[in-house]
Structure 1
Amino acid sequence: MYKWPYGDWASAGIDAWALGLEASSVIGLRVAKMAGGGVGAAEEAQLMLSEKMQAAFELQTALVTGRLGDNPLTGTQKVLKHYRRKVKANRKRLG
């Protein structure tokens, strides 16, 4: 996570922006793979859906067990970190 000199919320904003860029590259890689069709495309679509459901379940569990912290900033930072790990793994796998 980037430490922006203007405050923690600004840093979280930069992290959200970076996540958006990284996610865009994964979307592009996935679209290219799916455009090719075949078994690989179907498997990628299935994996994409299952990963999204798993990530949401993990965050819901973290929320109800208090692992996202006790304030909005901490929760935001942890959610961004969670999704950035997932996106990074997908970019590495697809690239």
Structure 2
Amino acid sequence: MNVQIPPQAFALGWQAWLLGYEVAQVMWMRSWVIALGGAAGEREARRMVEEKFAANAAYGMLLATGAGGTSATGAARKAMGHYGRRVRANRRRLAASKR
């Protein structure tokens, strides 16, 4: 059986893998900040929860207005773009605070 897999499926899979890698980096950096405790750890924990609620609410509005993509591939790209921007911003912020 010869199954043709469209090239965009590979690109989408690669983007998902990269996003997962970036998420793992942010989780690791945030874990250290929170584990060290103090005001910075408490601030980071609070920020993390607030960001998750805000990101999910914003994506919910995208879906509710029909801007979440018209196909499965489009919806996946929109979701990864939406959350990816936030993950990359956190990674930059956390990496800069280590210097």
TM-score of the superposition, structure 1-length normalised? 0.91
Q: Secondary structure at the match of 2:68?
A: coil
Stretches of structure 2 lacking an aligned partner (at least 5 in a row): 1-5
Listed as ranges, the gaps of 5+ residues in structure 1 are: 1-5
State the partner residue of 1:66.
Answer: 66
Q: Once superposed, which parts of structure 1, at least 4 consecutive aligned residues long, lie more than 4 Å away? A: none
Superposed, 1:1-95 pairs within 5 Å as 7-95=7-95
After superposition, the CA RMSD in angstroms is 0.9
Cα shift readout 1:6-63 (whole Å, capped 9, x = no counterpart): 5112111111100010010101100111111101101100000010111111111000
Amino acid at match of 2:55: A
> What fraction of aligned residue pairs are identical, expressed as a percent?
34
Pick the structure with greater CA Rg: 2
The aligned amino acid for 1:44 is E
Q: Number of residue pairs matched?
A: 90
Match of 2:3 in 1: none
**1:67 corresponds to which letter in structure 2?**
A
TM-score (norm. length: structure 2): 0.87
Counterpart amino acid of residue 79 in structure 2: V
